Amino acid sequence: MLHQHSAWPAGRPAPPVGPAGAGALNARGWTSDGAAVEHSIEVRDVHKSFGSFQVLRGLNVGFVDNAITTVLGPSGTGKSVLLKHIVGLLEPDHGEVHVFGKDIWKVSEEERFQLRKRFGVLFQDGALFGSMNLYDNVAFPLRKHTKLSEDAIADRVMQRLKEVGLERSLSKAPGEISGGMRKRAGFARALVMDPDVVMFDEPDSGLDPVRTSLLNDLILQMHAEHGGTYILVTHNIPTARKVSDYVAAVWQGRLVHYGPTEDAFASDDPFLRQFLSGDSAGPLGMD
């Protein structure tokens, strides 16, 4: 599970090419000449309803490995539900979720549990344990999932806390620090197991523009240092523009766009244009 740092050159990773001299990725995560691209995270035709309400309606997406993809889309469109499917917390009614080449619902519970360890997840508020100080919060996954000695754990925890600028706050409780610091602590915890995939669900919600910008810098810096496939759900368009290599757009339970960030911002697609500009005129209404 150790990252090969040399595998992630600086700058934006090139889109993967398929086996048969393939072209650009289209919205379904396939190359333009129809060849399938290998992705560590692949969602195939996933449908999910809650009661009679259809949330995901045939969602297909393959996330580009070792790149940062932002997932954009209106509220209530199924972005968080998508993340929960990827990490195996929700099971599709129909369709498949493949992670690292395995259909997560066709493996044993034990194997699914092992696969989940390769993910780091940062939810909105950092989801820290209120009764533990920051050090113990960051150490928690290591104590739970590894047999590392407390000395080895201390090395890793201190390294992560330093990277997010919290080494001097290690004995503080989450309730004693600011929202921005809680997110950084959550980020340190999400990275402590050296995950191959890091998912952020609206990490910038509730942060002022300056703290959002600092968090974005931190995301870029950590990605440059550790590599990995980052999937970031955000409503913040400047965040999407600044941090992402690729933009995925979800609307009405389906993927409507996946491509390099600059293409998304230059696109003529009415949905993308309206969503990226925050315009009230366009296909998006209040429903």
Distances (CA, A) of 71 to 15, 199, 241, 249: 17, 10, 12, 6
Q: Which stretches of 180-240 are assigned E, i.e. beta strand?
A: 197-201, 229-233
CB 83 within 8 A of CB 120: no
Q: What are 90's two structure tokens? A: 């929700």
Closer residue to Mg ion (CB): 13 or 78: 78
Nearer to ligand ADP (CB atom), residue 166 or residue 248: 248
Q: Which does 50 bind (CB under 5 to 8 A by kind): Mg ion, ligand ADP, none?
A: ligand ADP
- List 61's β-bridge partners, or say none: 43
**CB of 158: closest distance to ligand ADP in angstroms?**
34
> Which run of H or E residues covers position 109?
helix 109-116
Choose the contact partner of 81 out of Mg ion, ligand ADP, none; CB within 5 to 8 A by kind: ligand ADP
Shorter beta-carbon distance to Mg ion: residue 39 or 79? 79
Among 66, 80, 244, 261, binds Mg ion (CB under 5 A): 80
How far apart are CB 73 and ligand ADP at their closest, in Å?
6
Residue 80 C-beta: closest distance to Mg ion, Å: 3
| Least distance (Å) between residue 252 CB and Mg ion | 15
Quote the least distance from Cβ 200 to ligand ADP, whole Å: 12
Residue closer to Mg ion by CB (options 37, 82) is 82
Smaller CB distance to ligand ADP: residue 75 or 149? 75
201 and 75 Cβ atoms separated by less than 8 Å = no
- Which element (helix H / strand E) includes 12? none
Q: Nearest distance from residue 152's CB to ligand ADP, in Å?
A: 37
Please identify, using beta-carbon distances, which residue of 66 and 80 lies nearer to ligand ADP. 80
Distance CA 47, CA 79 (A): 13
Which one, 78 or 186, has the nearer CB to ligand ADP? 78
Q: Where does this chain bind ligand ADP (CB under 6 A)? A: 50, 55, 73, 75-81
Angle between helices 179-191 and 209-226 (to 10 degrees): 10
**Angstrom distance (rounded) from CA 112 to CA 209:** 38
Burial letters 82-110, b for 16+ CB under 10 A, else e: bbbbbbbebebeebebbbeeeebeeeeee
CB of 53 to ligand ADP, least distance (A): 6
Taking CB under 5 A as the rule, does residue 236 contact Mg ion?
Answer: no
CA of residue 223 relative to chain centroid, distance? 12
Residue number, nearest CB to Mg ion: 80
Binding site for Mg ion (CB under 5 A): 79-80
